[in-house]
Every structure is written in C-alpha cells, then in structure tokens.
Amino acid sequence: MDKWGIALFTLRDELAKDFKGTLAKVKEIGYAGVEFAGFGGHSASEIKAMLEEVGLEAWSSHVPLAQLRESLDDVLAYHKEVGVQYIVCPYLTPEERQAKDDYLELAKDLETIGNACKEAGIGFCYHNHDFELQTFDGEYALDLLLSQTTEEHVQLECDTYWVEFAGVDAKRYMNQYTGRVPMVHLKDMKATDKSFAEVGEGTLDIKDIIQAGKEAGARYFFVEQDICERSPLESISISFNNIQRLS
C-alpha cells in the first residue's frame, strides 16, 4: 500500500498553536510521513519523541539556504538526531536568482552542501518553484542547477504544481530526471485563476502525475497547499481521501 506525506508548511498556523496536537491530527487523517518547514523552537530530542509517540516518519525537512550556508554542521546534527531522511533547499529570494551567474554560484554551494549531507547519511534535494523554469541562454535555470551538480549529491524534489504553473509538463519533466527525483510535491490548480486547490479538486492530472513520479523513482509524495480557503486540516483531509481514490 502506498504511503503519503504532508508538507507541514501547509499547517504552519496550526503548528504554531499546537505542534504535537497538529502532528497527531495529521496521523489521524492517514498520513504516514511529514516534511518539516521549521521545528517550532523544539529541540531535536523533543521532535523525535513527538514523532515516535504520534507514529509519523520524518521523511524530509525544508531548511533555508542561508542556514545551509552558514550553520550546516548544526543543521546536520539536529536533523540526524531527529532522523530526517532528506534535507531540502526550499526557496531562493529574488536577489539570489537575478542572473545565470547566480545559479552557477548556487550550484557550487549546493554541491558542497549535498556532499556534507551525504557524509552525514542524509539525502539532499533542491525544491523548485516556477521561477527556475525561466531560461538563460535557452536553458531552464533548474536544468542549469542540475547539470552543474552531481546526482550523487543534489537531487530534485519536484513541485509538480509550480512546474505546471510555469507552462511545463510535470510528467515529462520528471521523466527527464528519472533516478534523480526521490520526492514529489502534489498540489492542484484551480481552472479559474491557477490558484491552489485541494489535490484532486483542480485541473491537474494527479493520477498520471503520481504514476510519472513513481516511474521517475520517487519514494515520497507530499501533499502541500500553500494557501487554503477552508481549514488547512480539512483541506489536507480532502486531498488525502482523493489521493486514495486516484491511486
């Protein structure tokens, strides 16, 4: 049976009020794993204990690029204690992505970070938005990052919503990097304004996207909804039930 994860960024407001209680609700819905986006000021031992008590697996964690550059040893020690399997670079500020040279310099840093993660026994991924699908000299910035780093040290967490938002077929894009896409973000898109919808409630071909992710070698799939119009817990419950039906 397939196991599904939740990107906890979706539940950031709920976690700020009740971290452990929110994790328990995630488990009750049926999710098996989580991707952290911060730890709410809790120690690694506290987070590990919460996960063990609730019964969730720590598949992944988004860590800001500045933190990866400036305090990598501390990041690795914390994540190793929690038992996180992958660390992910989640986002570039506009200042960090102005020109092709920015991406070339970033690739060097990602390779160094990925090498350190591997030595610590943790995988390392880069997570895309739509802006990495802009072109420099006819090449997507994301392709540039991946071509200038090694598969051994830098893999792709493919956010399929943002690939599609940029006008690129997410299924074909993942196929291009078969063996280098261990994790996938599943979101859905409203037809009206391309805003976020619960997974299975929008226009994206979620069933085929999941299948394409599996064929590309993805082991972990995360539901994420950046903005919810209803309660985020209700939204992720709808998404979970739809994924069960679609897969």
Cα–Cα distance for residue pair 122/74, rounded to 1 Å: 14
Q: What digits encode the pLDDT tens for the residues 146-195?
A: 999 999 999 999 999 999 999 999 999 999 999 999 999 999 999 999 99
DSSP label at residue 66: H
Q: Which DSSP string do the residues of 153-219 spell out, in sequence order?
A: T-EEEEEHHHHHHTT--HHHHHHHTTTS--EEEE-EE-TTTS-EE-TTSSSS-HHHHHHHHHHTT--
Binning pLDDT at 50, 70 and 90, where does residue 114 land?
very high
* Mean of pLDDT values over 45-69: 98
How much is the pLDDT for 247? 79
Binning pLDDT at 50, 70 and 90, where does residue 1 land?
low
**pLDDT cut 70: percent of the chain above it:** 100
* Mean of pLDDT values over 195-224: 97
Give Cα separations from 41 to 10, 47, 75, 83, 106 (angstroms).
Answer: 18, 10, 14, 17, 28
* Mean of pLDDT values over 92-96: 95
pLDDT of 2 > 90? The answer is no
Contact (Cβ atoms closer than 8 angstroms) between residue 184 and residue 213 = yes
pLDDT of 54 > 90? The answer is yes
User: What mean pLDDT value characterizes the chain?
Assistant: 97
Q: Which DSSP string do the residues of 68-124 spell out, in sequence order?
A: HHH-HHHHHHHHHHHT-SEEEE----GGGSSSHHHHHHHHHHHHHHHHHHHHTT-EE
How much is the pLDDT for 163? 98
Binning pLDDT at 50, 70 and 90, where does residue 34 land?
very high
**Could you tell me the maximum CA-CA distance found in the chain, to the nearest angstrom?**
51
